[in-house]
């Protein structure tokens, strides 16, 4: 079952008017929230980022956090499976095509759930491959915008090169992946680009830095030059659906010794432990 504008319904029954500004302009924002054991993971953080995205595009939040919480609980309840990934999508609504914001229009609110499968074990034992690509997106990558054409094209470039992810470089510095954040390990230190307008502030990114700090893993947040990315001991990608994964091949070359590194193994253990602890807590 999906949720559309106040009602739960089967996916097949859901329909959106063609003049929806999400369809016409990509005028909307979204969130992807994992749920483990039927409990949303880091919900407060996801709702805070949603608010940031809505504020950035001048769209009033159609719901309070408590309302979102209830809707999300109901969505999980309407769908099978212990682990689900929840997709929330809000557009500026339906209006005659005109770029400027329409007045008095109700936003479109859509939510769906899909089964959330943990990354296949071989992805963690062998790692994934990536290519570096010039980040040619706009300058508001902090907004989780539904206008994903640039990300789609960058990811497709990776797929056509036989790789899993595109590692994006802007003006000689690392920004993020086409649908993930990227960490670099160099000389035992975890390097991360700063959260700014050039990347999406990942919920997993924050969690990885939190877990590293709690476990005494040295981290350094700051611009990461392309040369360091290309000479990394380890590279990781992170996202809500893919957790933390090692990138072991970059542009056809081995990253470090070509195997997932020791800090990845440590971080993955911390991540799995954290997930298990959160799931045991009553909500």
Based on the shown chain and the rule CB under 6 A, indicate whether residue 239 belongs to the binding site for ligand PDD: yes
Token pair listed for 246? 């090692």
Give 91 or 204: the residue with its C-beta nearer to ligand PDD: 204
By the rule CB under 6 A, 241 interacts with ligand PDD: yes
Under the criterion CB under 6 A, does residue 250 sit at the interface with ligand PDD? no
Q: Which of 53, 145, 181, 248 binds ligand PDD (CB under 6 A)?
A: 181
**If binding means CB under 6 A, how many residues of this protein chain bind ligand PDD?**
15
The CB-of-158 to ligand PDD minimum distance in angstroms stands at 13
Question: 57 or 105: whose CB is closer to ligand PDD?
Answer: 57
Asked if 180 interacts with ligand PDD (CB under 6 A), we say yes
176 binds ligand PDD (CB under 6 A): yes
Taking each helix axis from N to C end, the angle separating 203-214 and 262-280, rounded to the nearest 10 degrees, works out to 100
Element (H, E) at 121: helix 121-126
Q: Smallest gap, in angstroms, from Cβ of residue 152 to ligand PDD?
A: 10
Q: Using alpha carbons only, give the angle 237, 240, 241 rounded to the nearest 5 degrees.
A: 85
For 149, list phi and psi in degrees, rounded to 5: -55, -45
Pair type for strands 181-186 and 128-134: unpaired
- Cα three-residue angle 149-33-250, rounded to 5 degrees: 55
The H or E element that residue 264 is part of is: helix 262-280
230 is catalytic: no
Q: Considering only residues 179, 198, 209, 255, which one is a binding residue for ligand PDD as defined by CB under 6 A?
A: 179
DSSP code for 13: G
- DSSP-derived letter for residue 117 is P
Q: Name the residues that contact ligand PDD, by CB under 6 A.
A: 32, 151, 176, 179-181, 200, 202-205, 238-241
- Residues with catalytic function: 144
């Amino acid at each position: 079952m999906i949720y559309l504008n106040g009602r739960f319904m089967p996916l097949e029954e859901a329909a959106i008017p063609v003049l929806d500004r999400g369809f016409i302009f990509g005028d909307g924002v979204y969130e992807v929230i994992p749920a483990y054991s039927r409990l949303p993971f880091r919900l407060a953080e996801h709702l805070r980022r949603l608010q940031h995205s809505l504020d950035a595009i001048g769209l009033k939040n159609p719901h309070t956090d408590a309302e979102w919480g209830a809707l999300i609980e109901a969505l999980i309840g309407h769908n099978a499976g212990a682990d689900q990934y929840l997709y929330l999508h809000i557009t500026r609504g339906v209006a005659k095509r005109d770029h400027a914001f329409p007045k008095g229009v109700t936003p479109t609110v859509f939510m769906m759930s899909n089964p959330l499968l943990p990354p296949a074990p071989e992805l963690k034992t062998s790692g994934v491959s990536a290519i570096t690509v010039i980040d040619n997106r706009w300058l508001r990558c902090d907004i989780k915008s539904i206008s994903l054409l640039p990300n789609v094209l960058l990811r497709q470039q990776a797929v056509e090169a036989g790789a899993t992810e595109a590692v994006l470089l802007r003006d000689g510095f690392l920004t993020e992946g086409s649908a993930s954040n990227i960490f670099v390990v160099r000389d035992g230190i975890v390097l991360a680009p700063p959260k700014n307008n050039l990347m999406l502030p990942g919920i997993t990114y924050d969690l990885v830095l939190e877990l590293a700090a709690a476990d005494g893993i040295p981290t350094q947040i700051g611009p990461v030059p392309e040369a360091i990315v290309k000479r990394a001991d380890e590279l990781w990608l992170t996202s809500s659906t893919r957790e933390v994964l090692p990138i072991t091949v970059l542009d056809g070359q081995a990253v470090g010794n070509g195997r997932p590194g020791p800090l990845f193994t440590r971080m993955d253990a911390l991540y799995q432990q954290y997930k298990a602890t959160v799931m045991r807590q009553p909500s």
